[in-house]
Amino acid sequence: MFQDNLLLLIIFALGITFNNNLVAAGAGSVLVLKLIKMYSVLQILEKRALDVGLIFLLVAVLVPFSLDKVGVTDIWKTFQSVQGLIAIIGGVTAAYLCGQGLVLLQVQPEVVVGLVVGTIIGVSLLKGIPVGPLAAAGVTALLFNLLGLGKR
């Protein structure tokens, strides 16, 4: 039983050790659901949690529009400035990379451990922000392709 939960315990411990509350909460939640044998909930989470998480992320990004902090004139200015155009290119690139990351996670789910460890190291040592597994997987997919390591 202990060996079956070791990976989740390690991820939970790394999250706690490096003060990454999101990683610790995620690993702890999944571990608790596993220990109390809520396999049906885990199966639902496996199928839908990513979609729900992305909805919450999009809601957080769109809230400034609903609070009138961003208006049509701001959007128009985005298309008229170099910084705005670069931001659009950055958004397109990030969306594409995250899509590639999703494919990578589906084809090579074993990379998740490396992504989590890398994220924890980046947050703790480089004062980064845990942006999530899709962004990390997207960058990883890009690196895999550049190095010729991508599965086809």
Of 92, 86, 111, nearest to 101 by C-alpha is 111
Residues present in the chain in total? 152
Residue type, 76: W
Q: In this predicted structure, what is the pLDDT of residue 143?
A: 94
Q: 29, 31, 26, 25: which is closest to 9 by C-alpha?
A: 31
- Give the residue extent of every domain in the chain: 71-152
pLDDT value of residue 53: 84
pLDDT tens by residue, 54-112: 899 889 989 998 998 988 888 898 889 999 999 999 999 999 999 999 899 888 888 98
Spatial contact of 54 and 60, defined as CB atoms under 8 Å apart: no
- 37 vs 116, residue with greater confidence: 37
Rounded to the nearest integer, the mean pLDDT of the chain is: 88
Residue 123 has pLDDT above 90, yes or no: no
Entry pTM: 0.68
CA angle at 112 for the pair 92 and 137, rounded to the nearest 5°: 15
